[in-house]
Amino acid sequence: MAGTKRLVFTFDERSLESLEKIKKDGRFSSLADTVRQSLQVSKALQSQKQQGFREVIVRNPKTGEERVVVIPDLAPEED
């Protein structure tokens, strides 16, 4: 693969179980794809944070119910 690098990660047992659960629940094809997609989500959230946005609101399309998801890294910075 041109332009790619092979990386090796070492996970503790708990972190690996978490990653494998995300892979399964997200129906990702591989652990690498799981990490790749997770990085894309993180990048999108960081971009919104840089623009001043701090809350993520999710909506259940079936019920219309909304919830605010707290993501610690998006919390307002202390002065």
The DSSP-derived string for 3-49 is T---------HHHHHHHHHHHHHHT-SSHHHHHHHHHHHHHHHHHHH
Domain that holds residue 34: 13-74
- Nearest CA-CA partner of 35 in 19, 59, 49, 12: 19
Q: Is residue 4 part of a domain?
A: no
Flag whether 58 is in a domain: yes
pLDDT of 68 > 80? The answer is: yes
- Into how many domains does the chain fold? 1
- Distance (Å, rounded) from C-alpha 73 to C-alpha 44? 13
**9-55: per-residue pLDDT in tens?**
999 999 999 999 999 999 999 999 999 999 999 999 989 888 988 88
pLDDT at 76 over 80: no
Does the residue 20 lie in any domain? yes
Does residue 79 fall inside a structural domain? no
Q: Does residue 68 fall inside a structural domain?
A: yes
Inside any domain, residue 25: yes
pLDDT confidence bin for 64, thresholds 50/70/90: very high
